[in-house]
Chains A and B, each alone.
Chain A
Amino acid sequence: DTGVSQDPRHKITKRGQNVTFRCDPISEHNRLYWYRQTLGQGPEFLTYFQNEAQLEKSRLLSDRFSAERPKGSFSTLEIQRTEQGDSAMYLCASSFLGGVSTDTQYFGPGTRLTVL
């Protein structure tokens, strides 16, 4: 079984450009999470999906950010009109919610975004 994968691993862009990241969760995991981690800090929650439904969004997720999970499998996170403050590691995690208990969140390697 493969783990959570993210693409690209690194992205350098100029301020004002749009960027899109992709996350492929562990197969059969129905929950998918996005977090943002700045250098030397712990990850901060952005949003999560159960199947294709986006259930919760953080206040950190401004209107320049949008996330989708159209078929309940992979997810994309798009940032429009990037700003230097968007520079961070964007982490994706997945888990399985079902039955009596939930499983652990498994993290991908992250996409490191640098906005020049």
Chain B
Amino acid sequence: AQTVTQSQPEMSVQEAETVTLSCTYDTSENNYYLFWYKQPPSRQMILVIRQEAYKQQNATENRFSVNFQKAAKSFSLKISDSQLGDTAMYFCAFERNNAGNMLTFGGGTRLMVKP
């Protein structure tokens, strides 16, 4: 079974600064996908970024980028130029084999962006 661990329950960052959220996972699979989802207060979960395990290049989406270290089973999310709207719970998630399987989520990191 896969496990996903987010070791930072809460973090805060000043507006316009950069913050990195950590995620580690455990799996025996070789082919899988990793995701970061954002869940704003009282709003639904939306995808921030995803990474294919077979790709060495780290994924980027505008101000969001990841540092994927496959050997270390580490998948951190960097948010640059933080905005007040980035305040949310962030969940790291794992999907094995990218075959439309279930997601395994970490416990989440609550990020507060301060003005």
Contacts and interface: CB of A to CB of B under 8 A. Distances in A.
Interface in A82-116: 91, 95, 97, 101-102, 104-110
A45 B37 CA distance: 15
A41 B110 CA distance: 11
B100 A31 contact: yes
Nearest to B92: A42
B91 interface: yes
Contacts of A42: 4, 91, 93, 105-108
A interface, by DSSP: helix, strand, loop or mixed?
strand
A104 B93 CA distance: 12
Interface residues on A, range: 20 to 34
Nearest to A108: B44
B44 to A, nearest CB: 4
A102 B103 CA distance: 13
Contacts of B72: none
Given A104-B50, A107-B44, A107-B45, A41 B107 contact: yes
Contacts of B91: 42-43
B11 interface: no
A44 B100 CA distance: 16
A95 B98 CA distance: 12
Nearest to B47: A104
B105 A101 contact: no
Nearest to B42: A109
24 contacts: A31-B100, A35-B103, A41-B107, A41-B108, A42-B4, A42-B91, A42-B93, A42-B107, A42-B108, A43-B45, A43-B91, A43-B105, A44-B105, A45-B103, A56-B102, A58-B102, A102-B98, A102-B99, A102-B100, A104-B50, A107-B37, A107-B44, A107-B45, A109-B44
Interface of B: 4, 35, 37, 43-47, 50, 91, 93, 98-108
